[in-house]
Amino acid sequence: MNVYWEAVRRYLRGPAVSGALRRLGIDPHRYWLLIDLFGELTDHREMLGHLGGDGISLRMAAGIYGLFTAVLAGIQVLLAVPVWTYCATFLGITAMLLLMVLISETANSLVNPVEGLVLAHQPINGATYTAAKLTHLLRVLGYLVPALNLLPALGGILLPGARWSYPLLHFFSACVLGLTVALFCCAFFGWLIRFVPAARLKNAGQIADAAPVVLILVSASGSLRQAVHIPLGLQFHPAMLWSIGIAFGVVSALSVIFGLRALSGDYLVRVSAIMHGASHAPARRARRTPLAAAIARLAGGRDGGQPARAGFEYVRRTMFRDWQFRRQLIPMIPTAILSLLAIAGGLRTTPFSGRFTAVHFLPHALGAILFIVCTGLAHGSGYKGAWIFLTVPGNTFGGFVRGVYALLWTAAILIPNLIVLGFLAWNWGPSDALLFIAFSLAIASVYLAVELRLVEGVPFGKPVDTSRGIVVLPLMMAGGVFIAIMVALQHYLLFHSRPLVLAATLLAAAAAWLLTRASLSTFEVAIRYHLGLVSQESTMLYKEVA
């Protein structure tokens, strides 16, 4: 196998491929130097911000997608669906998943160009650097397209009416579709780099990262289908439809071509401005609300007030500035908003009435949001600055972790429940509203106490490790099952008796208090351990020469 890969490597770096690269305006020598450099950075775990550079997470994603499409293909074969419906199903799934993955990968490669700032002064043209930076997209396609389509293509031959050439046609169509989606993503960011001011490009890239999720949710709701409804008269004119399709294809092709030209021509010219462009609002005078100040002061206790306020403000401000943290959370915002809106639709029906209502999910939805926040809180783009915490006394970390906890509890539990309380009191009456909100606060606090253990070190003090999805995905699946069981118990057993709900609330509050004390102690130990590793890194910079 090593001999085979060595032969492939020699061919790719040989005269034939080098000539093709030169015709595209790419310097072959510098292109392969950059590829080797990015490979070394990945091996040293210094460039793990994208899926294409991390083989572990890429193979895991490919395996999950392959298992999912194999099961779906088996179901459709057993149902004997029409061939074109079968093919359209998997091509549609391929297009949606690749669009979501590649938009994120392209944004992280181009709009967060840490390597580009280092290399911008070198004699490397834009086409060479852009081609090297986006080569990992081909690796993503090489894993995901076969994972999504290889088994379905082979299984499609079992469908009634399928020809012997169907597997080849299906797989070739999927490869062309994947390459088209990748080119579209690159061209889209080429247009962004050309027309969006550099100071706004980071925000634009992260908003674009969430666009595929919004598009899928809107499509599922039926609003998009109604917006693009084709008039009945036009449906009976195939020539008109063909003309519209051809015109759309030509415009799309021209947009991709000119977008790629803008990307290769403007990227390195503007990379320094992109890096130094503000990713947040201009600095203003710090203004803490009385609620935030009171919560931080209470969290600090008798002797930890200042460290608690420091932890509160540090995490609050960095959440809105750190690129990697925002990159993980922004795509989740549309789903979280729609989930909360669905819960808001059940505010008129009290769960004490015996009828099922979506408001049962409120504390568990807040717990799910906190799970996403806690899994990403320890990872950030400015992790090399974690050494600053080595300059503070060790006894301050107890107050610091309480300040972090106070921020998460206030922002994700207290404020949402206070907002909901007004609507519930108007529709249910004060007593039922207060009882349910007390129950929601207690249950959500239990979630936070457990999930705080997922923060493994100083907040934003570690590089992004995409391989942690191996652990996070099973936890999310188990959490979904647990939430379903809890909601069923609430509806069928608990909310038929107000005294029983009050007893469960007191029990959950006591459990939250005990678990929070243990989790804060664990969080403090994790910070000390992480800083111990940081303090030892300086000894690894030098090697003794005999």
Q: Span 425-433, mean pLDDT?
A: 88
**Most confident option among 205-214, 359-368, 534-543:** 359-368
Mean per-residue pLDDT of the chain: 77
pLDDT band at 504 (very low <50, low <70, confident <90, very high): very high
pLDDT score at 347: 77
* Domain residue limits, the chain: 25-276, 294-540
pLDDT band at 436 (very low <50, low <70, confident <90, very high): very high
pLDDT score at 511: 95
pLDDT score at 546: 47
The CA-based dihedral angle spanning residues 472, 473, 477, 479, taken in that order and rounded to the nearest 10 degrees: 10
Contact residues for 490 (Cβ-Cβ < 8 A; gap 6+): 351, 360
Q: What are the φ and ψ backbone dihedral angles of 379, each rounded to 5 degrees?
A: -115, 135
Q: What are the φ and ψ backbone dihedral angles of 519, each rounded to 5 degrees?
A: -70, -40
Per-residue pLDDT at 460 exceeds 60: yes
Token pair for 535: 């303090």
Percent of the chain at pLDDT above 70? 69
Q: Is 49 helix (H, G, I), strand (E, B) or coil?
A: coil
Q: Span 122-137, mean pLDDT?
A: 72
pLDDT score at 350: 85
The CA-based dihedral angle spanning residues 71, 76, 78, 80, taken in that order and rounded to the nearest 10 degrees: -170
Q: Span 171-195, mean pLDDT?
A: 82
Residue pair 121/37 in contact by the 8 Å Cβ criterion:
no
Per-residue pLDDT at 515 exceeds 70: yes
Exposure string of 268-300, with b = 16+ CB inside 10 Å and e = fewer, is: bebbeebbebebeeeeeeeeeeeebeebbbebb
Q: What are the φ and ψ backbone dihedral angles of 462, each rounded to 5 degrees?
A: -130, 155
Per-residue pLDDT at 48 exceeds 50: no
pLDDT score at 52: 46
Which range (163-177, 274-288, 322-336) has the least confidence? 274-288
Q: Span 97-120, mean pLDDT?
A: 68
pLDDT band at 323 (very low <50, low <70, confident <90, very high): confident
pLDDT score at 229: 53
Tell me the β-bridge partners of 462. 379
Per-residue pLDDT at 292 exceeds 90: no
Q: Span 483-509, mean pLDDT?
A: 91
pLDDT band at 131 (very low <50, low <70, confident <90, very high): confident
Taking only the tens place, the pLDDT of each residue in 236-252 is 456 665 666 677 667 66
pLDDT score at 514: 95
pLDDT score at 380: 81
Per-residue pLDDT at 186 exceeds 50: yes
pLDDT score at 301: 55
Residue pair 260/183 in contact by the 8 Å Cβ criterion:
yes
Taking only the tens place, the pLDDT of each residue in 198-238 is 666 666 666 666 666 666 655 555 544 455 455 544 444 56
Residue pair 311/407 in contact by the 8 Å Cβ criterion:
yes
pLDDT band at 352 (very low <50, low <70, confident <90, very high): confident
Per-residue pLDDT at 281 exceeds 50: no
Percent of the chain at pLDDT above 90? 13
pLDDT band at 534 (very low <50, low <70, confident <90, very high): confident
User: How far is the C-alpha of 107 from the C-alpha of 210, rounded, in Å?
Assistant: 11
pLDDT score at 516: 93
- Per DSSP (E only), the strands in 333-372 are none
Say which residue, 195 or 287, is predicted with more confidence: 195
User: How far is the C-alpha of 10 from the C-alpha of 407, rounded, in Å?
Assistant: 55
pLDDT score at 42: 57
**Most confident option among 127-131, 303-307, 313-317:** 313-317
Token pair for 201: 């490009």
pLDDT score at 199: 64
**C-alpha closest to that of 58 among 533, 470, 472, 535:** 470
pLDDT band at 447 (very low <50, low <70, confident <90, very high): very high
Per DSSP, the residues of 210-242 read HHHHHHHHHHHHTHHHHHTPPPHHHHT-HHHHH
Taking only the tens place, the pLDDT of each residue in 396-406 is 888 899 999 99
**C-alpha closest to that of 120 among 206, 196, 12, 198:** 198
pLDDT score at 466: 60
Which range (56-70, 258-272, 447-461) has the least confidence? 258-272
pLDDT score at 342: 76
Say which residue, 189 or 516, is predicted with more confidence: 516
Q: Span 339-364, mean pLDDT?
A: 82
What secondary structure letter does DSSP report for 388? Answer: G
Per-residue pLDDT at 139 exceeds 70: yes
